[in-house]
């Protein structure tokens, strides 16, 4: 599915890399389906352009030698054309690859939203809408904090960049009047360590860590006495019960950690992870609400 084939809503979301506003379940599900189809095409394009770029880089190198050889043999114009042509072609492919990469969407985030609402679809209040504020642009430069210089710890230097990406906010109402919210904040940490090898060369390695924090909240339609506490994993989760505007709210946080050695982690909590949190918050409702 290409950009021009998308529905106006999906096109807007793909172009702005954001989903906002109030949505009916079926329209939201259709939007996610369209965006996932669009992203599949974009991912294929990124893969294709990457291959093309690699070929172009090799050709540019070959062109460099061939061009110099031709110039040496007296044909300066043809040699320069081969040389410059190879480099221009290489730059073009790099630009196109990066452009496609920017257009691709985070498929795991879209899949999470799709699975989440497909599972709770029958529980939604049909008279209410889903309030959505989703940013699909990922850890861009604007979300990166200042460079942190860490104690070297045996390395020559350790530098760290932290991206904060509060990309997901959802709010919807259940058939029994309870409101649920879900928020996700991602923290991407890039740690660059430089070490001097025994031969005196400097070697730099970057490690990537992604810490996702999912926060689910249940808001009752009127003050309640919670029925009890659900199962909570002490390592990765925290449950808080508080009062907000006179209402008893329960908040469940869950952290997810992903590590990668060579690139930014693409993983994301699944929709089932999110539903598992909502499910437990819902089990706190007093009996008459069930």
Residue 58 to residue 61: CA distance in whole angstroms = 5
Task: Give least dist CB 272 to other proteins, A.
Answer: 6
Stretch that binds other proteins, among 134-142, 201-209, 243-251, 278-286 (CB under 8 A): 278-286
- 243 touches other proteins by CB under 8 A: no
Per CB under 8 A, the list member of 68, 209, 256, 265 interacting with other proteins is: 256
Which residues does 188 contact at the CB level (< 8 Å), separation at least 6? Answer: 139, 162, 163, 165, 208, 209, 210, 264, 265
CA 220 to chain centre: 31
260 binds other proteins (CB under 8 A): no
Distance CA 209, CA 82 (A): 43
Of 45-53, 86-94, 135-143, 169-177, which segment contacts other proteins by CB under 8 A?
A: 169-177
Q: Is 48 in the site for other proteins (CB under 8 A)?
A: no
Reduced to 3 DSSP states, what percent helix, strand and coil does the chain have, rounded to the nearest 5? Answer: 40, 30, 25
202: left (phi over 0), alpha (psi -120 to 50) or beta: beta
Please state the closest distance from residue 209 (CB atom) to other proteins, in A: 13
Residues 175-194, one symbol each (x = binds other proteins by CB under 8 A, - = not), give: xx---x--------------
Q: Does 127 bind other proteins (CB under 8 A)?
A: no
Residue 229 CA neighbour count, 13 Å, CB half: 10
* Residue 172: CB atoms within 10 Å: 24
Closest contact distance (angstroms) between CB of 12 and other proteins is 28
Using the rule CB under 8 A, which residue among 122, 153, 197, 198 binds other proteins?
A: 122
Per CB under 8 A, residues contacting other proteins are 118-120, 122-123, 174-176, 180, 227-228, 230-231, 233, 235-236, 256-257, 272-273, 275-276, 278-280, 282-284, 287, 290
């Amino acid at each position: 599915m290409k950009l021009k084939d998308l529905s106006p809503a999906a096109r807007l979301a793909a172009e702005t890399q954001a989903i906002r506003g109030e949505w009916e379940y079926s329209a939201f599900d259709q939007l996610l389906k369209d965006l996932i189809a669009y992203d599949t095409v974009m991912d294929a394009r990124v893969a294709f352009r990457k291959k093309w770029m690699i070929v172009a880089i090799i050709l540019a190198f070959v062109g460099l030698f061939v061009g110099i050889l031709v110039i040496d043999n007296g044909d300066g114009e043809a040699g320069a054309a081969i040389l410059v042509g190879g480099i221009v072609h290489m730059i073009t492919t790099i630009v196109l690859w990066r452009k496609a990469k920017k257009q691709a969407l985070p498929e795991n985030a879209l899949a999470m939203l799709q699975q989440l609402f497909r599972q709770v679809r029958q529980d939604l209040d049909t008279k209410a809408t889903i309030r959505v504020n989703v940013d699909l642009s990922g850890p861009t430069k604007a979300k990166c904090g200042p460079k942190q210089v860490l104690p070297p710890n045996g390395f020559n230097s350790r530098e760290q960049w932290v991206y904060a990406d509060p990309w997901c906010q959802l709010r919807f109402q259940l058939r029994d009047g309870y409101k649920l919210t879900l928020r996700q904040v991602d923290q991407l940490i890039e740690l660059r360590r430089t070490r001097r090898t025994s031969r005196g060369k400097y070697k730099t390695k970057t490690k990537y860590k992604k810490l996702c924090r999912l926060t689910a909240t249940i808001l009752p339609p009127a003050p309640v006495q919670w029925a009890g506490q659900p199962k909570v994993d002490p390592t990765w989760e925290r449950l808080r019960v508080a009062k907000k505007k006179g209402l008893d709210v329960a908040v469940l946080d869950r952290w997810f950690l992903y590590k990668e050695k060579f690139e930014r982690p693409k993983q994301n909590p699944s929709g089932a992870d999110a539903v598992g949190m909502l499910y437990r918050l819902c089990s706190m409702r007093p009996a008459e609400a069930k």
